[in-house]
Structure 1
Amino acid sequence: MSAGGGTRAIVAALAANIGIAVTKFVAYLLTGSSSMLAEAIHSVADSGNQGLLLLGGRRAKREATAQHPFGYGRERYIYAFIVSIVLFSLGGLFALYEAYHKWSHPVPITSWRVVPVAVLVIAIVMEGFSFRTAIKEANVTRGSQSWVRYVRRAKAPELPVVLLEDFGALIGLVFALFGVGMTLATGNGRWDALGTAMIGVLLVIIAIILAIETKSLLLGEGAEPTDLAAIERAVVGGPEVERIIHMKTLYLGPEELMVAAKIAVSPCETADDLARDINAVEARIRDAVPIARVIYLEPDIYHASGAGTASGAAVQSEGGPDEVAGRPGS
């Protein structure tokens, strides 16, 4: 996902949610509708979430330090996880509490009856615009994947978070419109409480989905099968490498992949020959998968018996000068 595409979707969602939150609070103050209050708090939570995503994206751009040698790219995952907590607590649990309170003490909507309906219709239009922007930006990188797979497999968290939030907001607005509409039609405030409870359950479910998916990114995910296959082809695609003994990959951030591999090479006469061969393999990997920015290759001599290796050297590349440091093979 391009950073620009994610930022555009976040800004569009933030602008929509701020405007929607103000109108919902006004409608709640005029009517006392619990659905309007739950939706207003939902919009406030979403606005805060978009602010957190923007902050995480900015902090993730900091340069690597001695204490954090791989940089701060995964900070975007941390802020996305915080978003799920905010959505669960401030959005979902508050709505469920408000629903319980209004169910116990139902209050009909007796004044400004047209206001909540008008506000909800306007909010649906504004959320629809935000959702459309998120879909448009996501389609740039989604390819032929289904929406479920895209949300589950995307390594950049911003667009999936915005997509789920906007989708949940639209469904929640429909629930609120149902609760308010039935309350206006019947004069029974418990319909309003029911709509509020439906909003709460929806937000809790979305928050749990976000937490599960973001937790996986925080724990560390490897390259997708297509990228992994491309890296393997690049490694063995020249005369320098006989085979891959073993290889591991890890996302250091949404747009930075680490590749670490032990590779079987033919005996070299000099360290210069070995370094030149390693550089050639690295170049092929970066051509095949450009986000593979941190590469560690350990050349070794392969024994089919698996009894061990004769010698080895750890060769590190992070896009800087060539470095060759010898150590015993393992």
Structure 2
Amino acid sequence: MSQPEVKSESVGTVVVAGSANLAIAAAKLFAGLISGSASMLSEAAHSVADTTTEVLLFLALRRGARPADARHPFGYGKESYVWAFFAALFTFVAGAGFAITHGITTILVHEHSGNYLVSYVVLAVSFAIESVSLARAARQVHRESRRWRTTPWRYLRLTADTTLKAVFLEDSAALIGLLLAGAGVGLSELTGDELWDGVASVLIGVLLLAVAATLAYTNLSLLVGRAVPERLRREMELSLAGLPEVNRIDTLFTMQLGPMDILVAAKVDFRDDATGAAIEATADEAERRLRERYPEIRYLFLDPTGALPAPEHRAGREPEPPAGDGTVDPGL
């Protein structure tokens, strides 16, 4: 899959999720105002927060995709994490804050107009629409996990595409929130006690807090400058070390410059008899080999370095015997 296709698919996923959340937010707000249900109003706030989040994520994709220029030679990829971080904060403040506050108020005041039917209808329709949005995000997660040869859960946990991660987590939280709201409304109708509606609202707020905290932490880590997952770094190192003119790779650094941009820098010990032309050819082959496997690598820097002293001559230490057969398990 080429890089532009990946970005376009993420944009489509965000647009579908945003459109769904906008329609659902209006329906939930109507149901909440008619029924007076705290959990329905919390779900309306949830959908409003999700809609605003999708707008910020769309902005993140557009701003982060701008090409590099003289002032930003590595591009604007990290700006996408800034907007995605703002989106997580908005979910934290607007969605979770309202749901918890309104739920506690309902527990204390116990107000409800008594019109439950409209709540059930809106919850059922919302569940169907959210399921469609989540299914699209889930399909993209499965495709990407196969491309990176890992499990969907591991891909979702480690991916630098925080827009896809946000949509998947928010849609999953939305479905759970709808179930909580339905349980709260149903128990309140059965028992005649609005305590259950308020408790459901508080639980929806806690759910939003968990999602917001997860997304905020992920984006903050990427803003600071996160490396690619260790398994991928080792695969890159083994690929470079396998080149004919290379003795070993002394150091290999990686960094996510954006959702689809990776920087790779390595100190390479070339063979002593390697000519300048051979080193240039090896560098070209290294770039071709890595980018063929990982199209997201935007920048590759190889720094020829001299041979390091033998281990027994460094710091007066005795050489250590090799562990095992020297192979690397790429699944770790």
* Coarse TM-score class (shorter-chain normalised): 0.7 to 0.9
Q: Structure 2 CA distance, aligned partners of 1:92 and 1:187?
A: 26
Alpha-carbon distance, 1:82 to partner? 1.6
The amino acid across from 1:67 in the alignment is R
Alpha-carbon distance, 1:270 to partner? 7.0
2:269 match: secondary structure: strand
Do structure 1's residue 204 and structure 2's residue 209 form an aligned pair?
yes
Q: Structure 1 CA distance, aligned partners of 2:96 and 2:65?
A: 32
* Equivalent residues in 2 for 1:130-149, closer than 5 Å: 130-143=133-146, 145-149=150-154
Q: Note the aligned Cα RMSD (angstroms).
A: 2.2
Query: C-alpha offsets along residues 246-301 of structure 1, whole Å, 9 cap, x if unaligned?
Result: 12111111212111111112347975554344333333333343322211111122
* Equivalent residues in 2 for 1:280-295, closer than 5 Å: 280-295=285-300
Unaligned ranges ≥5, structure 2: 315-332
Matching residue within 106, 122, 128 for 2:125: 122
Change (3 A) 1:146 1:264: closer
Task: Check whether the contact 2:142–2:152 (CA below 8 A) recurs between aligned residues.
Answer: no
The amino acid across from 2:156 in the alignment is V
The amino acid across from 2:219 in the alignment is T
Alpha-carbon distance, 1:164 to partner? 0.6
Change (3 A) 1:245 1:45: same
The amino acid across from 1:223 in the alignment is V
1:62 match: secondary structure: coil
Matching residue within 220, 245, 248 for 1:215: 220
Do structure 1's residue 260 and structure 2's residue 269 form an aligned pair?
no
1:263 match: secondary structure: strand
1:63 match: secondary structure: coil
Paired positions, count: 307
Q: Structure 1 CA distance, aligned partners of 2:286 and 2:137?
A: 38
Matching residue within 92, 109, 134 for 2:96: 92
Unaligned ranges ≥5, structure 1: 309-330
Alpha-carbon distance, 1:127 to partner? 0.9
Q: Structure 1 CA distance, aligned partners of 2:95 and 2:106?
A: 16
Match in the other structure for 2:59: 55
Change (3 A) 1:171 1:303: closer
Matching residue within 25, 34, 38 for 2:38: 34
Q: Structure 1 CA distance, aligned partners of 2:126 and 2:164?
A: 21
1:64 match: secondary structure: coil
Q: So what's the TM-score if we normalise by structure 2?
A: 0.85
Match in the other structure for 2:330: none
Query: C-alpha offsets along residues 70-117 of structure 1, whole Å, 9 cap, x if unaligned?
Result: 00112222222222111111111111110111122111332x331111
* Equivalent residues in 2 for 1:231-250, closer than 5 Å: 231-250=236-255
Query: C-alpha offsets along residues 146-183 of structure 1, whole Å, 9 cap, x if unaligned?
Result: 45423211121111111110110011111111111122
Task: Check whether the contact 2:141–2:152 (CA below 8 A) recurs between aligned residues.
Answer: no
Q: Structure 2 CA distance, aligned partners of 1:122 and 1:153?
A: 33
The amino acid across from 1:118 in the alignment is V
Identity among equivalent pairs (%): 34
Q: Structure 1 CA distance, aligned partners of 2:190 and 2:271?
A: 82
